[in-house]
Amino acid sequence: MPSTARSTPNIAFIKYWGNRSEDLRLPMAPSLSMTLDRPTVEITVEEADAFAVRSFLADGSEKTLKEKDIERFRKVLALMQRYLDTLGAANALSENLLITVRSHIPPAVGLASSAAVFSCLAKAIAGFIREKKELTDKQVSILARLGSGSAARSIFGGFSTLEEGGGMEIGGSWSEQIADEHHWLLHDIVVIPAMDEKKVGSTEGHALASTSPFYAERVKSIRSRRQRECIEAIRKKDFEALQRVTEEDCLDMHHVMETSTPPLHYLNAETHRIVDAIKALRTKAHLPVLFTMDAGPTVHLVCPEEGRSAVLSFAHAQKGCTIFETKVGPGACLVE
């Protein structure tokens, strides 16, 4: 029976950067994010005569996938089967699957799609095999992690972690929910300054993390303090504490990226200008808002309801930028 799932990206407050196993995407340290309510991706998994991946854009047109993208799906499905083997579900996935991806992520918006795509694929696979094996959300998050580490967190709505876990086994890291999407209404106003595709993807980027002289200290700080501070800030809905730890962690990740060999520069002059401007505005207007950036120049401005209209006006006043509005959302689900 075909199975269709829907999912969305997430925005990390404590960033996942660097692995203890590149192939299995086992993270070096824990991370934490808020799952967003849009843009959505839908994926259908069904039996076919031969393995194929088809991808459709927001306007319904078919996107020709690069050979390396199709290979990534093939590799991820093989890893997923390897994990399913450990759960006693050998041969649950046939080699001849048709994967149909329908993305509602506007092409002009520089939002990373891998978290949405691989959480969606994991959920669709869970639906596809459910007569043979029922998976828990934790197990589905492990399937998602095999496609993209951050994808594990989008299995849950609201606020969730990617746990560091332990060991070198395929199931050795998973996601856990801290609070659901009804706990705290936070908005993410996304300001996209440039459309150029990032030069080094996060998969290759993770492998460089340990070449930075600041990486060991980063891992230590997250393990000993930052992850806990972030969890507490979310539980208590303490926006100031969330702002402090999120911005500290974001700037630290970019410092690690910029000091790795070779260096990775994801932020550009526009990013820095927007960050300086929002800092000035929040001091002047006592605005509750925090900034954070992933592996690209896009600035995420996260704020509670009371900051939303001022942050939106600020965002729309940024010349040449595309604005995308999103907020905390419910996570991956099956739609058929």
Residue from 55, 103, 150, 173 binding ligand PMV (CB under 6 A): 150
- Token match 């539980």: residue? 235
Q: Does 245 bind ligand PMV (CB under 6 A)?
A: no
CA dist., res. 35 & res. 234, Å (int): 13
Using the rule CB under 6 A, is 114 a contact of ligand PMV? yes
Question: How far is 146 from 140, CA to CA, in rounded Å?
Answer: 10
Residue 168 has φ and ψ, to the nearest 5°, of -120, 20
Give the helix/strand (H/E) hosting 37: none
The least CB distance from residue 170 to ligand PMV, in Å, is 16
Instruction: Name residues whose C-beta falls within 8 Å of residue 66's C-beta, 6 or more positions apart in sequence.
Output: none
Q: Which is nearer to ligand PMV, 9 or 288 (CB)?
A: 9
Nearest approach, Cβ of residue 72 and ligand PMV (Å):
11
Closest distance between ligand PMV and the C-beta of residue 25, in Å? 7
The whole-angstrom separation of Cα 88 and Cα 216 is 37
With left for phi above 0 and alpha for psi between -120 and 50, is residue 21 left, alpha or beta? Answer: beta
Contact 243, 229 (CB under 8 A): no
Closer by beta carbon to ligand PMV, 110 or else 149: 149
Q: How far is it, in rounded angstroms, from Cα 309 to Cα 177? A: 29
3, 8, 31, 212: which one binds ligand PMV (CB under 6 A): 31
DSSP secondary structure string for all residues of 279-332: HHHHHHHT---EEE--SSSPEEEEEEGGGHHHHHHHHHTSTT-EEEEEEB----
Q: Determine the residue type at 182.
A: H
Options 93-101, 183-191, 199-207, 316-324: segment touching ligand PMV (CB under 6 A)? 199-207
Report if residue 45 touches ligand PMV, rule: CB under 6 A. Answer: no
**CA–CA distance, 22 with 255 (Å, rounded to integer):** 21
Q: Minimum distance from CB of 295 to ligand PMV (Å)?
A: 4
**Cα dihedral: 210, 211, 216, 218 (round 10):** -80
Instruction: Pull the structure tokens for residue 198.
Output: 């990032």
As measured in angstroms, the least distance from the Cβ of 76 to ligand PMV is 12
Among 5, 7, 12, 218, binds ligand PMV (CB under 6 A): 12
Using the rule CB under 6 A, is 93 a contact of ligand PMV?
no
State yes or no: residue 227 binds ligand PMV (CB under 6 A). no
- Which one of residues 202, 212, 221, 292 is an interface residue with ligand PMV (CB under 6 A)? 202
User: Rule CB under 6 A: is residue 113 a binding residue for ligand PMV?
Assistant: no
Choice from 92, 140, 295, 332 touching ligand PMV (CB under 6 A): 295
The stretch near ligand PMV (CB under 6 A) out of 129-137, 144-152, 283-291, 325-333 is 144-152
| Contacts for 115 with CB less than 8 Å, ≥ 6 apart | 9, 10, 148, 150, 151, 153, 154
Choice between 17 and 291, CB closer to ligand PMV: 17
Pairing state between β 97-103 and 52-56: parallel
Residues contacting ligand PMV: total by CB under 6 A:
16
60 CB contacts (<8 Å, ≥6 apart)?
none
Closest distance between ligand PMV and the C-beta of residue 15, in Å?
Answer: 4
- Does residue 144 bind ligand PMV (CB under 6 A)? no
Region from 76-84, 145-153, 173-181, 298-306 binding ligand PMV, contact rule CB under 6 A: 145-153
Kindly state whether residue 13 participates in binding ligand PMV, applying the rule CB under 6 A: no
Single-letter amino acid code for the residue at 43: I
Note the residues at the interface with ligand PMV (CB under 6 A).
12, 15-17, 31, 112, 114-115, 148-150, 202-203, 206, 294-295
